[in-house]
Amino acid sequence: SQQGEEDPQALSIQEGENATMNCSYKTSINNLQWYRQNSGRGLVHLILIRSNEREKHSGRLRVTLDTSKKSSSLLITASRAADTASYFCATDDTGGFKTIFGAGTRLFVKA
């Protein structure tokens, strides 16, 4: 299976609720990134968290990283219909030379 696997594959919530997406990975990493992709478009970089960081905030986004469990979570608070998109985690492993993307979580926010 892939480095950087998101869970759940799809998530449907009401506007105003919080959305939590998880990412698991297999090898040691230098950093982990989260991206958003609106339907049929390219990916937009949201946030990067380094391996020596445990939590990072950016606006309504909160990312945590647990290197002992090789997992990360992305929390979107007070979700809006415009947050409807796919969300990907990407890991930069210490041994390789490339960033590896997961298959993504599809988030639907109903107005």
Partner 1 sequence: DVKVTQSSRYLVKRTGEKVFLECVQDMDHENMFWYRQDPGLGLRLIYFSYDVKMKEKGDIPEGYSVSREKKERFSLILESASTNQTSMYLCASSFSFRGRNGYTFGSGTRLTVV
In the complex, the residues that contact partner 1 under the rule CB under 8 A are 2, 4, 30-31, 33, 35, 40-45, 48, 88, 90, 92, 97-99, 101-104
Q: Is the distance from CB of 60 to CB of 106 less than 8 angstroms?
A: no
Q: Which is nearer to partner 1, 15 or 99 (CB)?
A: 99
Q: Which is nearer to partner 1, 12 or 30 (CB)?
A: 30
Q: Write the single-letter amino acid at 63.
A: V
97 vs 62: CA distance, rounded Å: 27
Q: Which is nearer to partner 1, 50 or 54 (CB)?
A: 50
- The partner residues of 66 in beta bridges, in order of sequence, read 71
